[in-house]
Every structure is written in C-alpha cells, then in structure tokens.
Structure 1
Amino acid sequence: MSRKRKPASLSDIATASGYSIATVSRAINHRGNVSPVAQRTIDALVAELGYHTTNACPPPKSTTIAILIPNLSNPFNSSVLEGIRNAATTHDLNVALLMVKETDTDIDYYLNMLKDANYCGVIALAALPDNQTAYQLNHEIPLVMCSEYLEGTEMSYVGIDDNIAAQKATDYLTRIGRRHIALINATTNHKYARQREAGYKQALRRAQLPTDTDLILHINSIRYNLALSKVTDLLRTRTEVDAIFAASDIFAIAALEAARHLGRQVPDDLSVMGFDNTFLATVVSPKLTTIKQPAYEIGHEACEILQEKIARKNAPERHEVLEASLLVREST
C-alpha cells in the first residue's frame, strides 16, 4: 500500500512555480494582480500537488479577532488597544489578546497558536519574523500589522515613518544648541529601532555633527530599570553629553532619574527627548518633550482595514502611514 502524500504547502507551490509566496497567495485567493500565465501555472500546481489551506480561520461565522502582542509592559500599546477595541465594537467584533514571543517564530508557531480557536482575523502588534511568514499567515487568515511592520512588505499595515519622526526629534535638539546627543534605543531586531537610529544619524549629519557609536545604547526590553542602569553609567562616564533622545518615554523617564541622581539639571545641563507621548510624559517632572505617535488612530485604522479584509475576500492590501509630531514641554 502506498503512503498517502502530504499536502503541499504555500512554500512548496512557490518553489515549484518559480513565483514568490506573495504572488502564489494572490493567485490562490484571487486577490490583486496576477498575470494569466502565472495564474494558470499556479492553478495547475495546486491541483497536481494537492495544496489545501489549514483553515486557521474557519467560517465567517466567527466574530473574534486575535491581537498578537509581545508584552503588556509598554504603555504605548494601551492606547493602540483602545483604538482597536472601539473600532471592533463598532463592527460587532470581539477581541482576544494573545501573548506571543518575538524571536524564533515561524508560520507553524502562529498556526498552532490560532488553530484551536475560531478567529476571523489577526492584528499583529508583535513583530513578525519575515515577509514569507506574513504572506503565509495572511493566506490562512486576514492579517494586518499594527505599529510595528515589516519593511518592503505588500501586506496591510498601519504605523508611522520612524525615520522621519527621529529626524524631527534630533533636529530639534540640534536647533536648541545641543552638540553631544546620546540615543537610548531598543535593539535593532525591531524595524522601528533601526529606522529611529537611521533618522537620528541622518539628522546629526545634517547638523554636521559626528556620530559617536559609544553614545548609542541598545536596550533589549522597554523596561525602566534596565534603562536607568545603562543611562546612569553613560552620563557618569560621558559627562559631555548634553542631550538624550530616547526611543520610548519609559527610556526618557529613566534618563530624567539618572540625571537627578547625578546632579545634572534638566533642561539646563541636559535636554531629554522621549518618544510615544504616553500618559507618563505629563505626570513626571519636568514634563517630557516627546514625539507624539497617534496611537489610538493607529489601532483604530488597523481594525478598520482588518474588518474590510474579513468582509471582502478580494479587499486590497493597504499601507497607512500616519504622521508623528513633536510636542515641546519642560525637559528641553
């Protein structure tokens, strides 16, 4: 008796056809533009190799969307979640939070997480590992990336231009006369961290200031205590630092405490710039100058796009880049 052949995966069809996973996904779902030749080739391979979906999201009867979130420690996410929840309520959708890891993930990790519940769509606040995984997941269940998204992707996302936002922050610090500007950043496995660092460096070049890599700190989690220790060490050893641009308000608040501990006066001796404009920015003293992300709007728009994808199988993928603005307060 011959062994039953294992059904082909989306990757198998892509490899056999010579087309990208994105093209294969569009052809199978009849979404977007696919050439007649590609459509015929992929259709033939689907029939020959026995491809079928794993039905991570069965039947449109489901009214629950899954929100993939890496942790609850970052207060920025609370406003994003509020925007998602309010949009979901408008469309009679329920919301389920799923805590996910951001490293060592692949398509099987996500499908195993989703298979036991009847979700009709996914909003990912956690970083997906690569475009191939995003394409495969979107093929199984409607997907929108929210806040953190993949570079060069065709999949739907809502966020800001982190590079431009970081340039705004650094440009302001150079305009007020700061010349030794440190960057307190997340680790560069995150798109937003890479882009903010690139924008910081670009603004320094524009101001004809050197980039000192020793003034760039990478912290692997958005946590106050981690940042406080590292910023304290930096300010103690590099006394010429006259400004700190922090890639989150939590990092900036840690910088305020480090300065206080070392007797540095903010903003006279040291300017501190945050990022996100969380509620914390106005409850600390001095109140925090920061980059305002439209967090609520990011979440709300992500849910609106997801609802459209759930309602219409052929809904186009959408990229929404919202504007971040500079809010000047007491810390600069």
Structure 2
Amino acid sequence: MNKTIYDVAREAGVSMATVSRVLNGTAVVKEETKAKVQAAIEKLGYRPNAVARGLASKRTKTIGVILPDVSDLFHAEVLRGIEDIAMMYHYHIILTSSDAREDREIDLIGTMWEKQVDGLVFISERITKEIVRTFEQAQLPVVLCATDDPEGRIPSVAIDNESAAYDATRFFLDQGIANIAFFGGPTTHRVTMERRHGYERALQEAGQSVQESLILHAPDMKYEGAHSVAAEFLRQGHHAAAVVAASDEIALGYLNAVRDRGGNSPQDVLLLGFDNTRLSTIVRPELTTVAQPTYDLGAVSVRLLTKLLNEEPIDDYTVRLPHSIIERTSTKRG
C-alpha cells in the first residue's frame, strides 16, 4: 500500500502538520526534527502527492509549458532554458505540443488548469482574443515566451522581431545589394509579419520599392513547405540576389531549391536565416543567421513567471532580449 503523511508522522514521532511544514518549507523546523522526518520518508519510501499537497498549500510546484512543436530545433533549445530554471526554483514542468492549432491550444490551457499547475509558459504563433479569454477564465499566471501579445496585456519575453529583420535587411543593403527577397511563414503568423514589416521598413528607408514578387510565404516555418514554394518561385523565372528568411529551415528550403536547379550559395544567391539553430552550422555553406538567445528566452520566461507566482517586484512585464547577426559563408562571395 502507498504510504501516507500519517505513516511518516507516526514513524518520525511528530505531527502531520510538522511533516507538511518539512515537505512544503512553509515554516522553520528544527534541524533535528527535519532529519527525523527525512529519515522516516526514506525508510517508508513515501512519495508526496503533488495534487494533495496543492490542495493544502494552493501550490503544486508545477509549471505548464505549451508550445507548437517539441521536435522543432528552436523550441527544443528554448525548452532547455525553461527546464533548467524551473529546476533551479524547484518546479516540475508539464510539457505539451499544440501543433500550432488554436483549438488545441485552448483545450490544453483547460487541461493545465485541471492539473492544477501554478502557472503557464505559453509559446504560440499568434495570440488571439479567444486565447486571451481562455487565459482569463483559467485565472492562471501566464508568461508568453518568444511570443507577443499585440495589446501588451500578458507578460512576455521575446526579441524585437521587426528590428531584427530590419537589421538583417540592412546587412545586405549596406553592401550595396538590391533585389532582396523576404521569405516568411504564413501571413497569419505574427512573428513572420513582424519580420516582414522590418524588411519592408529597411527597403523603404533605403529608397527601394517593396516588390510583392520578391515576398514569399511558406505554409509554415518548416523546410518542406519552404522548399516547395521556393522551387515554384524559381521555376517561374524569378530571381533574388539575396534572401532574408524568417527561419533557418526556410532558408535551407530555398538553398536546396536553388541547388536542384544546378545553382548554389553564395555564388547564385546570398542567404540569411533566422534563429541560429544547429542547422545553420551543419549545412554547407554554413548559414549566416539572426541569432536569438533561445536558451535565455526560456530561462527568463520561467524567472518572470516565478516572480509573478511569488509576488516579487517586477521591473518590466514586457522583456525584450538582444539579437545579433552571425555572419557565415552563405553571404560571403570570393
């Protein structure tokens, strides 16, 4: 039979309230008493029930994490930061993938509420009114990670995506390069559109017109869809001297579409990706990319959430982390 807090209290010769204080750290307990309780726990093999403890303390020491795709390299690196800082602050995480579907995101928020998580780290391609309404109904502390709330109602940690794409486009413009294409994900993807706006702003400030024929949108941020769209773009006779891509996978989709036609980079096109995932150094040529501090995005999101949970002072509910451009061989000719 499973041992209970009563069994531990009887074995240690203390009250159940004392065992609870030791388990939850809610009050100062003499070291001698604490040692007795810990010894009883080890002897009996007692495993505290997180939900039962949560009913008493109103905390389960769990954080829910909802992200679009756990297999995605960008999200995997963000998750490392989430896990490390959650562990540091003695929280467990419950991880789920939404497949970037709003209906599934809404269901998962409800599931997290049922599991009595203390708070949520939420990564999504867009924050809709329905998502915000669901957060409000669940009454859970939430921090958006690598995601923006367009109205700034929800605490968030991200980079300035528009400025990052602006800098990426300026990277080519400052070299005197024209005929620069933008290759993003779907137009419903908020991050894609922020990056597109940065691209357009850079062109306009440089006195260059925005050509719709040089703006491509893949069905998602993945390689396969990007490769298909790029192949059709090239088949129709279009040509870009340089491409600012909204993810490393999209950049590689364009690269291989060029290779399929006998071309290569940087000889035939200069390529600049986004996110600085492992793909950017595995591929040849190595990919110039906008580096997001992916680990820090996850780490800072959890730290902000723990501040909310513990009612600690917070200087800024909207955190913007720095980005940089890492130049590699995909943009170096000669």
Q: Match for 2:62 among 52, 61, 64?
A: 64
**CA-atom RMSD, angstroms?**
2.5
Q: Equivalent residue of 1:183, what SS?
A: strand
Number of matched pairs: 277
**Letter matched to residue 75 of structure 1:** L
Distance 1:152 1:109 in 2: 23
Written as runs of structure 1 = structure 2, the 5 A alignment for 1:49-128 is 60-105=58-103, 109-127=107-125
Written as runs of structure 1 = structure 2, the 5 A alignment for 1:183-202 is 183-202=182-201
Partner of 1:294: 293
CA 1:107/1:314 → structure 2, altered by over 3 Å: closer, same or farther? farther
Deviation string for 1:214-234 (max 9, x for gaps)?
221212222211111111221
Q: Which TM-score applies when normalising by structure 1?
A: 0.77
How big is the shift at 1:124? 0.2
CA 1:284/1:93 → structure 2, altered by over 3 Å: closer, same or farther? same
CA 1:239/1:189 → structure 2, altered by over 3 Å: closer, same or farther? closer
Distance 2:207 2:149 in 1: 31
Alignment check: 8 A CA contact 2:98 2:105 kept: no
Distance 1:268 1:108 in 2: 47
**Letter matched to residue 94 of structure 1:** H
Partner of 1:262: 261
| Worse-matched range after superposition: 89-98 or 57-66 | 57-66
Distance 1:107 1:329 in 2: 37
Alignment check: 8 A CA contact 1:235 1:241 kept: no
Partner of 2:156: 157
Deviation string for 1:35-82 (max 9, x for gaps)?
xxxxxxxxxxxxxxxxxxxxxx99533011110111234211111100
Alignment check: 8 A CA contact 1:106 1:133 kept: no
Structure 2: segments with no counterpart, 5+ residues: 1-54
Alignment check: 8 A CA contact 1:58 1:119 kept: no
Partner of 2:279: 280
Distance 2:56 2:150 in 1: 29
Distance 1:319 1:279 in 2: 28
Alignment check: 8 A CA contact 1:103 1:129 kept: no
Partner of 1:325: 324
Distance 1:94 1:117 in 2: 12
Deviation string for 1:134-184 (max 9, x for gaps)?
365156111000001212213210001100000111111122232111111
Written as runs of structure 1 = structure 2, the 5 A alignment for 1:24-39 is none
Partner of 1:172: 171
How big is the shift at 1:108? 6.1
CA 1:231/1:316 → structure 2, altered by over 3 Å: closer, same or farther? same
Distance 1:245 1:113 in 2: 38
Deviation string for 1:285-319 (max 9, x for gaps)?
00000000011111100000001111128867711
How big is the shift at 1:132? 6.7
| Worse-matched range after superposition: 186-195 or 243-252 | 186-195
Distance 2:102 2:257 in 1: 34
Alignment check: 8 A CA contact 2:179 2:242 kept: yes
CA 1:102/1:313 → structure 2, altered by over 3 Å: closer, same or farther? farther
Distance 2:276 2:62 in 1: 30
